[in-house]
Amino acid sequence: ARNVLRPALDLKPVSPEVFALQAVLAVAAGAHDQVETSEAQYIKSARERGVEFGPTVSGLTNLYAYLGFPYDAIRACREAIAVQSDVPELRDVLGDLWWQQGEPDSAEAEYGHALRLDSTRYSVHRKLGKLYESRADTARALREYSRYLAADSTSVTAAKIRSRVAELKESEKNGP
């Protein structure tokens, strides 16, 4: 598949996604020398098209994770954070990746970092609510859900969260 994509790189303009796909294929093939080159080309190509760094790397990490390479997604995200540590989206994505890998402590740390960088990332409060709920920490879950609902009270997700909050409060009232 990499050999099929290689000729596409000679076409102008090259879509950044071609480089992202090349990076994923290199990961799958264990060609780690080509991974770094393809990732750099992907980021450079996206920047040339005016796409910000955070969404670019977020897209790459999500692609790795979606295609079954979660630790490469984590690696790419960590490397991006080392380059630009003030992008809350990267911390949010890294939190998601850690959560998906069953590492709630690491997820919680990254979500907290995302909120310190951008207190308006309200979806992070919803994620923290779920994380605390998984730990049976109802008080903290309710606090995070309330913060989420303060920002989003009308969406379908908000309706689901309101319903979940009511269930948690009811179970808290009735005991275990």
Rounded to whole angstroms, the Cα distance separating 24 from 67 reads 8
Q: Dump pLDDT digits (tens) for 126-137.
A: 999 999 999 999
Rounded to whole angstroms, the Cα distance separating 20 from 35 reads 9
Task: Tell me the CB-side half-sphere exposure of residue 13, using CA atoms within 13 A.
Answer: 9
Please give the pLDDT value at position 1. 61
Task: Tell me the CB-side half-sphere exposure of residue 73, using CA atoms within 13 A.
Answer: 25
Structure tokens at 145: 């859900």
Q: Dump pLDDT digits (tens) for 139-172.
A: 999 999 999 999 998 999 999 999 999 999 998 8
Rounded to whole angstroms, the Cα distance separating 112 from 147 reads 14
Mean of pLDDT values over 9-32: 76
The residues, any chain, with a CB within 8 Å of residue 155's CB and separated by 6 or more, are: none
Q: What is the pTM of this model?
A: 0.81
Contact yes or no for 104/96 (Cβ under 8 A) = no
- Using the predicted structure, report yes or no on whether residue 22 has a pLDDT greater than 90: no
Please report which helix (H) or strand (E) contains residue 115, including its range: helix 104-117
Contact yes or no for 138/172 (Cβ under 8 A) = yes
